[in-house]
Structure 1
């Protein structure tokens, strides 16, 4: 799970090129809610499953875990350490992988990307670090007899994919609408266990993560320029010719 700035808010960058997370509200990434839903559906299908949620972030990232727990599930893990701040995908995947290995797993479910970074590479990186198959960008998902199977829609074909458990799977926003937490679920989530870990618990050197360990960095960041007023083509009998001239000048035709 990832706690992200509200996508509907006016998001911005700080002076050092990092995402400004203080000026807007944060919430559970919408794309991760689809992974929560698929985990719950697998458990409801009759598979003997224990569902644990994992996030990496500051104190308020627990809100994302509580939202997921309110939807369903059993427990959660929160990795919080000041040295993790400004980690790139490599550092984030390292922290997640160590936490997953510590807890134990059969299936790791992820959203296809976060709604802030939108890189979409962490599931594949996780699979590489954990040494298990990566079954990514699924629109349908099923688990049975030690195998995960799914369907991925490509540009020119529909692809059926399967992999042996344990595995890492990511699901898209077409995999099934996420349920809303019920009042009963919200109250129950307050009593579900949330374990807090730091880098020392995971045996990670602070130099491997954060800004120091990042393999990429933002050089500059600038606000998107405001939209300019569009050009109006008046139709006084020759509107078609005027429109054609405009499109020709812009090299659209």
Structure 2
């Protein structure tokens, strides 16, 4: 996938003020450039387009958190060093409310619930990092709510209360409801043949300024997810 042009990334801008930008990240584009001195670079990243988002400031904005390459939706950027430090602190302390939409195979055991399963690194298979449920790993907590059932699939609202790598994908798979299109944690029925990963960062609520209302931002579902959701409930 190529880097976004100035017009393309500006069209994805969901929110802008003096401290923070929130953009609607497209699925299929990694957020980070490979580290210097690392493996040979492969393809474009979202960071390649940040220079188009300076809006008069001397430096481009920087990532305050991350989304997986194949996840779409709300991504927050700090516009300068002080803003980035504040945002990074909020994400590190899990003070930012994150809401995701997922289209998953099967149905969860309850209409709503909480998944509390610690996660650790799994044995590497290829280049993609993998996580697994591991009682000796890091604490991971995810709330979920069933929004609708769609021909053997579940439309879920998911809120991770911690920020572990691949947390939602591993937790939903452990619940028996792997995210559709997940090549790492799905099964033969939910793998790449079903198209893009059906996981979308729907909303962020950021308590950015003390004593003031939080920043609230929503990203519309991308076409590959929207086409499978009930139109009246989007």
Measured against the shorter chain, the TM-score band is under 0.3
More helix by share: 1
- Of structures 1 and 2, the larger Rg is shown by 1
TM-score (norm 1): 0.24
More strand by share: 2
Q: Which structure would you say has the larger RCO, counting Cα contacts within 8 Å and 6 or more residues apart?
A: 1
TM-score (norm 2): 0.25
